[in-house]
Amino acid sequence: MKRITLIAALAFASSAALALAAEGQGGEGHGKRGHMLERIKQADTNGDGMLGRDEAKALPRIAENFDQIDANRDGQVTMEELRAFHKQHMAQRRAEHWKKLDADGDGRISRAEAQANAPRLAQHFDQVDANGDGYVTPDEMRAAMARHHKDR
């Protein structure tokens, strides 16, 4: 039984570190993710692989958003709930960022919009604009990001 609890706790901690890294809790790099893993393991004081409200107090970002993360309202934050919250949060941030870049709201970013609002995109505009039509669409942006992450 102890072994199952330990495995569950480690799985929870590993996944939570990945889910929270992009939110600023874990930062970038493996060292900081490892640090976040350790923080989650320490916060899960009963070793059940979930964080209750009291345990979450050790992790301010989770504590601040506890009610939003705890989708089934059972008073426990599971890894699945953390992943879902993270996914939703990142989608919202991407949508807000896109809206800022797409100043005229036409659903695509022109070279002028990139130059005015996103200097790094402007520098790589031709590589991102896969079809060469003078605009970057969300699909082209996703493809460019995927290529960038693959090359890392």
Condensed to tens digits (0 to 9), the pLDDT of residues 25-39 reads: 444 445 666 776 688
Our count of domains for the chain comes to 2
pLDDT of residue 98 exceeding 70: yes
Sign of the alpha-carbon dihedral angle for 67, 12, 33, 28: negative
Domain that holds residue 129: 102-151
Kindly state whether residue 92 falls inside one of the protein's structural domains: no
Residue 13 has pLDDT above 70, yes or no: no
- Spatial separation of the C-alpha atoms in residues 44 and 49, rounded to whole Å: 7
| pLDDT tops 80 at residue 20 | no
Rounded to the nearest integer, the mean pLDDT of the chain is 80
% the chain with pLDDT above 90: 59
Do 80 and 106 sit in the same domain of this protein?
no
Can you give the CATH number for the domain in which 139 is found?
1.10.238
Q: Give the per-residue pLDDT at 18.
A: 42
* Nearest-angstrom CA–CA distance, 108 and 136: 6
Two tokens, residue 93: 């941030």
- Model confidence pTM above 0.85: no
Examine residue 93 and state whether it is found in any structural domain, yes or no. no
Q: Is residue 96 part of a domain?
A: no
